[in-house]
A and B are shown apart, each in its own frame.
Chain A
Amino acid sequence: MVCLLILAAAAGAVAAFLVLRLWIVLRSQDVTPRQSLSLLVVAGSGGHTTEILRLLGSLSNAYSPRHYIVADTDEMSANKINSFELDRADRDPSNMSTRYYIHRIPRSREVQQSWFSTLLTTLRATWLSFPLILRLKPDLVLCNGPGTCVPICVSALLLGILGIKKVIIVYVESICRVETLSLSGKILFHFSDYFIVQWPTLKEKYPKSVYLGRIV
């Protein structure tokens, strides 16, 4: 009985500590000047990848190396990414040192998958993606809403919570979202460093978000 109480108290203390760590990580937004930063991009299926590549097209070569995370069942995104990077290298042959890598993780959820099984597959994806994030230790994670981004962002947050590295998480809500946030958006609104929306209605509903107009 006493053992159980001690265990419960210990678990409570650990949980409280983790929550406190999370709170500290989320609040830290100091801007350290730098010349370059490594970027982790989460590429979801179809339109998500198109949108995120448009955003990446505007970024300078300082955002390098670029690591792309793609769901294991998504061939099309890998092709689009390769085209994008080849195109980019063609347009700027002077910069031969820009490296990019494509990594695959299990898909968090399929379209129309039930809520409960989504929770299970997301937990599994987090478990499987954490070692990758731990190895890559990116400076910045950029995502725009596919289910794949939740486990990645959770893993990035864990790096901060465990005191390993503070990873900047930037979430850009899809242009599809005019009035309401996506499920990933609703979750990551609370856990991202910068949450960008593309329509004024969303800025009104979520004043803490960043509104830059239509950016894709």
Chain B
Amino acid sequence: MKCVFVTVGTTSFDDLVACVSARDNLQVIKSLGYNRLILQIGRGMVVPEPFSTESFTLDVYRYKDSLKEDLQKADLVISHAGAGSCLETLEKGKPIVVVINEKLMNNHQLELAKQLHKGGHLFYCTCSTLPGLLQSMDLSTLKCYLPGQPEKFSAFLDKVVGLQK
């Protein structure tokens, strides 16, 4: 069973939720070989009706304490550009398509998506270009993401605050 996990983190991203659950786009996702879509909608107002047929299942929920399980099951992740969602997914080694929320202030999320895309770690798009990207992208070209190093932070901080070893 090939599964797509769509996540908006703790935010509300109605445009993405609506886009992904629209009949046409569900068809696109199905035609790419996926037969399950798990949709985490956060604070959004748009709540698609879950359903389950022989060939396809749509699950919908707002939050879970941890998205670990759903990330683990996923063959593809479609996510908002929040750092938590992006990094958690990349660290699990899952292919990720980041959808930029054009309604956010200054759209600062675009910077991270662009940078990670530059590094070859993900694809990004907007709601309107998502269906096109899904059909044209090649997931095998994505590169492995190395996690950050918080120990560099602790070493620096210990030094500047005068903590003795």
Contacts and interface: CB of A to CB of B under 8 A. Distances in A.
B84 A46 contact: yes
Given A50-B84, A58-B153, 15 more contacts: A33-B164, A35-B163, A46-B10, A46-B11, A47-B84, A47-B85, A50-B83, A58-B154, A60-B154, A111-B104, A112-B104, A174-B83, A175-B112, A216-B83, A216-B148
A196 B163 CA distance: 19
Contacts of B11: 46, 111
B163 to A, nearest CB: 5
Interface of A: 31-37, 45-47, 50-51, 54-55, 57-60, 62, 76, 79, 83, 111-112, 139-140, 168, 170, 172, 174-180, 182, 193-194, 196, 198-199, 210, 212-216
Contacts of B160: 31, 168, 193-194
Interface residues of B, number: 37
Given A176-B112, A180-B111, A212 B84 contact: no
A92 B106 CA distance: 42
B9 A46 contact: yes
- Grouping DSSP codes into helix (H, G, I), strand (E, B) and loop, the A interface class, with mixed when no group exceeds half, is loop
Given A35-B164, A45-B10, A176-B112, A196 B83 contact: no
B33 interface: no
Nearest to A175: B83
A184 B81 CA distance: 19
Nearest to B66: A83
A178 B112 CA distance: 6
B149 A47 contact: no
Contact of A176 (B83, B88, B162): B83
B156 A59 contact: no
Question: In the complex, which of the residues B151, B153, B162 has the most CB atoms of chain A within 10 Å of its own CB atom?
Answer: B153
Interface string B1-23: 00000000111000000000000
A199 B162 CA distance: 26
